[in-house]
Amino acid sequence: MAGSSSRVPVAKTYKIYIDGKFPRTESGRYFPLENSAGNVIANMCMGSRKDFRNSVVAARKAFPGWSSASAYLRGQIIYRIAEMLEGRSDQFVAELVLQGQSKRRAKKEVEATIDRLIYYAGWSDKYQQIFSAVNPVSSSHFNFSVLEATGVVSVLAPNDSSLLGLVSNVIPAIVGGNTCVVLASEKMPLCAVSFAEVLHASDVPGGVVNILTGYREELIGQFASHMDVNAVVFCDGDAEVARDIQERAADNIKRVIARVDADWAKEDSQNPYLIKETQETKTTWHPIGS
Amino acid sequence: MSSDPSKLAFHDGWQYAPAPESTDHVSIDEQYELFIGGDFSKPEEERYFDTINPATEERLSSVALAGSADVDRAVKAARKAYSGAWSKMKAAERGKYIFRIARILQERAREFSVLESLDGGKPIRESRDIDIPLAAAHFFYYAGWADKLEYAFPGRTPKSLGVAGQVIPWNFPLLMASWKIAPALACGNTVVLKPAETTPLTAMRLAEVIREADLPPGVVNIITGAGETGAAIVNHEDVDKVAFTGSTDVGRIIQRSLAGTGKRYTLELGGKAANIIFADAAIDQAVEGIVNGIFFNQGHVCCAGSRLLVQESVAEEVIAKLKDRMETLIVGDPLDKNTDIGAINSAEQLDTIRSYLSIGREEGAEMYQSSCKVPETGYWCRPTIFTGVSQSNRIVQEEIFGPVLAIQTFRTLEEGLTKANNTPYGLSGGVWTDKGAKIFKMTQSIRAGVVWANTFNKFDPTSPFGGYKESGVGREGGLHGLDAYVTLES
């Protein structure tokens, strides 16, 4: 086929996303991602524990700014993510197909992902009003409770729902002002990296979302145990995995959010209670007097 | 009399006549049994332990030591009540039972107050004006929620969880029991509760109240014991939800032991709250707030303002006024209505506090204690402050759970905030300033679940309480306190 008119296609190098930059893993390791025919699609970064720690530092650094950004701005930025994804939907469909999904299903998943982004963009300046309270205390005080982001959230994204599942777990955390470190689906990691490029083009500040690819078995312990992570979200694994994550999380009383068996394609899997799961309630008192 | 004419001499010149609360109307049984399935029964192994009055070191009574067989019996009774009467009952009727508990507590408030002070050592003024009325109010508040839960969770249907296993501390014995039991019952759950080893008596009296209120047998079971009994409740396979208030170390153990079980849990753990005083604060009021923050309930308060951060320009003035105020505090007989600071809850806790006093001095901090007399017998600690401490000192980092204050200074708002948040804990915080914008800047930026501005240590059943970071998981009190006792269905 190699004639003078044919052009050699340029393949993409899939990288990881830390602190708003696209490095390859510091470890220099990779794992080949193969299609069903056994051909190599890409050499994925085999993210290391050091990559994870660097990501947590970036996420912690980004937290004060992102959590104090206005709800309106966070909503605007998440809406922007949806716009960017819409514009690149063909690329995401192609990647899903490349990883073995049918074209029909792939298209449906990308569309559902865009709609999910719109859904949570709209919640940014509303969930607070649903879940806050002015408390009628008996003493002469003004007392109110509001939600605040819990901090840095580590997310073990679903293995089987590589785009929609990742977005369904990351966005509720960041719409509420958290920053996060995400481990992409090990089976189908391509869309996670391309989604990082979408985030990068959407005014999401560097460090708010950090995305790693790699082996779950190697990284899961760090995701659960790191002392500067405030909450861990996981979506896969048997009882043994769940036990391991929860045990490690206890080191710093991490919030453990188990979303195993969720069907992310169902409309019911989106709701503001997912936002609330990575929020803290703060209650403030002030005397009323002269 | 003081020789300094600028100072009021409180200690020698002003004497208060003793004003002890009478104990005649409070009868204490020789021995208390386990409250299981609506009846009082002996523990299987027939073992008992003493509970003493920490102000006199005299034995008050013996209480049953529940073993794992007794825990099993209690959980079975709770399960039976859950599948039987309690979950079939109309929510409004369930609420009426909880209202009954509230009313009886109000009627018997004086008896409960005296008993609380006898068994735990806290000043009668606090048990009378804070612990017992708040406990009754808590039952009142949650009673009303029983038939209104669907309004608390927009778009979702709340369902009860089943059997709640609850383990509570010794600092606010009856109040903590109410914080645990009231929302659990309102949401349709049944309960196995264990009071703390050193303060079981008001919980056993609450068992009598629950009988008097005629709750269906097994809806509330109260069993006494020590750490092993608590562990047996937490680890019982038929418990659906665990609620614990206590130290962060034990909280960690509980979170680990619940891993993989699918049990729900809430943890109210330790704290090391910063109480931040700005130069533009009303200084006299702030000094009252500091005193209330750290000396309330002998400092046995997880949300105590145990770190004072004072702006450098007023530090000297604030510390001088604080020392003056400390001189006026009366340490002694918990039953005396003049008493400000009662007995330390146990010999063990007194040892802990004393070890921190040594650590503080060894680390180079300067210790100051008021000069008041303390009784010869019983467990006492004078109000204590440390100055010249640095951020890395253990008395700044670790929870002491006693009347011991570590004082640091700061220059800018940012420095104060950085120091305040430099802790693994995040239960509470305080800020004192006359400037509104600064209040909101601070209350928004302190990483803690409860923030008091120009006040401290205020509590209310409608007001959610609970920590960020290593101070715990979940909230108790208020609308948000319901979350812990329901599962949400679409």
The mean pLDDT of chain B is 96
pLDDT tens digits for range A234-278: 999 889 999 999 999 999 999 999 999 899 999 889 999 999 999
Distance CA B115, CA B127 (A): 9
Number of Cβ within a 10 Å radius of residue A50: 12
Return the domain boundaries, chain B: 31-269+469-489, 274-453
Find the mean pLDDT for residues A145-159: 98
pLDDT tens digits for range B208-224: 999 999 999 999 999 99
Nearest to B474 by CA among B299, B259, B228, B242: B242
pLDDT of residue A4: 61
- Please name the member of A242, A253, A285 whose beta carbon is closest to the beta carbon of B260: A242
Find the mean pLDDT for residues B420-445: 98
B462–A137 C-beta distance less than 8 A: yes
- Please name the member of A148, A268, A284 whose beta carbon is closest to the beta carbon of B453: A284
The mean pLDDT of chain A is 96
pLDDT of residue B87: 87
Nearest to A269 by CA among A159, A120, A145, A127: A120
B448–A250 C-beta distance less than 8 A: no
Q: Which chain B residue has its CA at the smallest distance from A254's CA? A: B469
CA-derived radius of gyration, chain A: 20
Pick the range with the lowest mean pLDDT from A31-35, B410-414, B431-435: A31-35
Pairs of residues, one from chain A and one from chain B, whose beta carbons lie less than 8 Å apart: 120
pLDDT of residue A36: 84
Of 1.10.150.120, 3.30.300.30, 3.40.309.10, 1.10.4030.10, the CATH number of B274-453 is: 3.40.309.10
Task: Respond yes or no: is residue B302 known to be catalytic.
Answer: yes
A130–B154 C-beta distance less than 8 A: yes
Distance CA B32, CA B40 (A): 8
Asked if the model's pLDDT at residue A1 lies above 90, the reply is no
Distance CA B123, CA B337 (A): 7
pLDDT tens digits for range B470-488: 999 999 999 999 999 999 9
Q: Provide the ipTM.
A: 0.96
A268–B490 C-beta distance less than 8 A: yes
Q: Terminus-to-terminus CA distance in chain A, angstroms? A: 87
Look at chain A and report how many structural domains it folds into: 1
B5: confidence class by pLDDT, cuts 50, 70, 90? low
pLDDT tens digits for range A193-241: 999 999 999 999 999 999 999 999 999 999 999 999 999 999 998 899 9
CATH of the domain at A184: 3.40.605.10
Q: Which residue has the tokens 């130069």?
A: B279
DSSP state of A250: G
pLDDT of residue B10: 59
pLDDT of residue A55: 98
Q: Chain A contacts of B469, Cβ < 8 Å?
A: 151, 230, 252-253
Nearest to B201 by CA among B173, B176, B182: B173
Closest chain B C-alpha to A38 CA, distance in angstroms: 37
3-class state of residue B318 by DSSP: helix
Asked if the model's pLDDT at residue A2 lies above 60, the reply is no
Task: Respond yes or no: is residue B268 known to be catalytic.
Answer: yes
Q: Is residue A290 part of a domain?
A: no
Find the mean pLDDT for residues A97-126: 97
Domain range for residue A97? 30-283
Closest chain A C-alpha to B49 CA, distance in angstroms: 32
Closest chain B C-alpha to A164 CA, distance in angstroms: 21
Q: Chain B contacts of A139, Cβ < 8 Å?
A: 458, 460
Q: Which chain A residue has its CA at the smallest distance from B267's CA? A: A253
Distance CA A240, CA A165 (A): 22
pLDDT of residue B2: 46
Q: Which fold is adopted by the domain B31-269+469-489? A: Aldehyde Dehydrogenase; Chain A, domain 1 (3.40.605)
B478–A283 C-beta distance less than 8 A: yes
pLDDT of residue B15: 75
Catalytic residue among B21, B126, B197, B268: B268
**Token digits for A103?**
């074209």
Asked if the model's pLDDT at residue A3 lies above 70, the reply is no
Closest chain B C-alpha to A220 CA, distance in angstroms: 15
Asked if the model's pLDDT at residue B6 lies above 70, the reply is no
pLDDT of residue B1: 43
Q: Is residue A4 part of a domain?
A: no
Contact A139, B458 (CB under 8 A): yes
Catalytic residue among B187, B302, B372, B381: B302
- Please name the member of B154, B267, B454 whose beta carbon is closest to the beta carbon of A253: B267
A280–B473 C-beta distance less than 8 A: no
